[in-house]
Structure 1
Amino acid sequence: MKMILTMLLLLMTVLAKAQDPDYPATPPTPSDIVTAEYFIDTDPGFGNGIALITGNGIDLAGILASVNTTSLSNGVHRLGLRSRNSKGSWSHTLIEEFLVNFDPAYPSSPAAASNIVTAEYFIDTDPGFGNGIPLTTGTGQNLADIMASLNTTGLANGTHTLGIRSKNNDGSWSHTNIQDFLVDDDFAYPPSPAAPGNITHAEYFFDTDPGFGNGTGIIITPGVDLNNINFTANTSSLPDGPHTLFIRSFDDWSITNYVSFLKGSPLPLDFISFSAVASGNDVLLTWQTENEINTSHFDIEWSRNGQDFTKIAAETSANTSGLHQYRYLHLSPGEGRLYYRLKQVDQNNVFKYSNTAVVNMSKTQKALLYPNPANDLITLKNINAADISLIQLLDMHGRQMMQTYVVTGLQYDISGLGNGSYLLRVQKKDGTAEVIPFIKLKK
């Protein structure tokens, strides 16, 4: 019984010690700061910067020091600042950007202008300074509005070149002013042409030319001038949509005149904008519409020469009133100058085209921002975080809204931004930089 009691007492002692641990000793007093240094643009390594006079102490806030910028070029530079304590430990390096903008001394005022004492001109071929045809000018520093007669006798009809220059009393010639002019003699007019013959035949056709004489005939009364002839063109066989009407007449065959028209109801949709931008190796297409009524879809077409277009995708229309935004990412279309357009088709198969958007795709792979437009988060692609030295978020006026030197990830929260357009500037460690536009939208 005594043994059991002793074990219980030992257990209670162990438990009591486990519940009341020893607190650590008070940390040592921080060491004094004994030195500080700075560098500009390039870090020379700890201890190799330019020394600063600081004094000694734990906290040296408010110390004033002069930084030598004498040899720096105008522009943005980086200042690095750090300190070391009495134990030899260095602080973190504080980095700040600053602008150097020297105000050089202005040159002294130029000497007073000398009087102009002579002037000369030449036509077509410059004979050399002092060898032109003299002009009577008078003397003075400003001889504006001087009238002079130039001899054009013997010049052939066509465009010629007039050169005029002047010399001051210091013997210095002015620049030679050059002006083109036209010589056009009034030749005798040729005899009147023969009286025109009567127009005896007229015809029309739609869209495709069947050849001279094979169009649909128009009833006319033969005559020299058939203005204001009225006729009915039969469109019953044409499908709804845009078409072209061609008309010509025969004495000898006239020029074929044409006019475009739309059969069926016009499309209710309005295109607000359509654009194409390079997004890394891909092309991002964005467009806006409004007043979508009885609309069906958009055919997305592209071309390498701006003439022969191929359909690459279709996007269903919202088919409601109000403003609508669409986007499509054309993956890896290749290099060169690329052309894009939209074919908007309504529910009756009537269609119309947007403007043609052009984008130049280069060989260099660029960083990609995705998604774009975005709601809450944006992600950088086609680039490594280790290759980035600085990320800046700017508004469209170039004002900075965010900056970070420590790039540990490639995803950024933009939920706090208002709707609109912004720029993400990516500064790389190799000295190059990319600016990527993006759009912030509500969910």
Structure 2
Amino acid sequence: MRLLLNILFVILSCLTGVWQSSALAATLVAAEAFIDNPSKTAGTGTSLPLDEALSDPLRTAKGVVDISALAEGPHTLYVRFKDDKNDWSTPLAVGFFIAEGSVGGTLPSGNNRIVSAEAFIDTDPGKGKATPVATAKDGTIDGSSEILGGAIPLTGLDVGVHVLHTRTLDATGVWSQTFRQPFFVPVLQNGGSGNPVTLAAAEGILDSSTTVYLSATDGAFDNGVETTSWIASVTNGYHSATIRFKDQYGLWSGSGDIVFSF
């Protein structure tokens, strides 16, 4: 069940693609999808219905591709369009991954759900053997998507770059692919070697120009893990936001960057 949900999400997301013919007078008339074969003969893929809602020469296409015979591991989905001059576009490619394990049987509720999660740093100890990440924001791990939290000791890590890995287990017994997040262990200054790091400040930067000093949600920066919030007034269009934290030794973290639009 989890494999099917994951792949359908990728397919439905990526098939909502838009391709514009280079000939202004041309109109898109067909679309198709295929897997793992970039040289597949044009017109022999899985046909995708075109959405007529957009004005010429733009079209969107949505559909489902059968993945039942695919082996575990990485694969590539290709999508291309044809215009009324019988010219096909260059295939648009997106990767997806079929995880190890059985998809299991049909769930009683008809929907899959997350039942557990774990994390590890740098070296994989094996599925089910890493540090549990078992604290759900809503109190219970029982949904198809969850906000989870937990703590992993950094004791013994060398100064430098490390990688945090996380993965989830679903109700059919299938582990997700592993998600990776690099982080940096700095040299502690002012005789602080061996002392825990405490966050002391945070700031947000809007559109690379306006800096805002942020407050801790609990009222004080006095822990190694803190949350903060940021409310800003922006105009319509695209914007960027950057957030970073400073510790008690005056060292700033790397920045977390997002791009959003209104």
Q: Which has the higher contact order (CA 8 A, sep 6+)?
A: 2
Larger radius of gyration: 1
Q: Tell me which protein shows more strand as a share of its residues.
A: 1
Same fold (TM over 0.5): no
TM-score after normalising by structure 1: 0.19
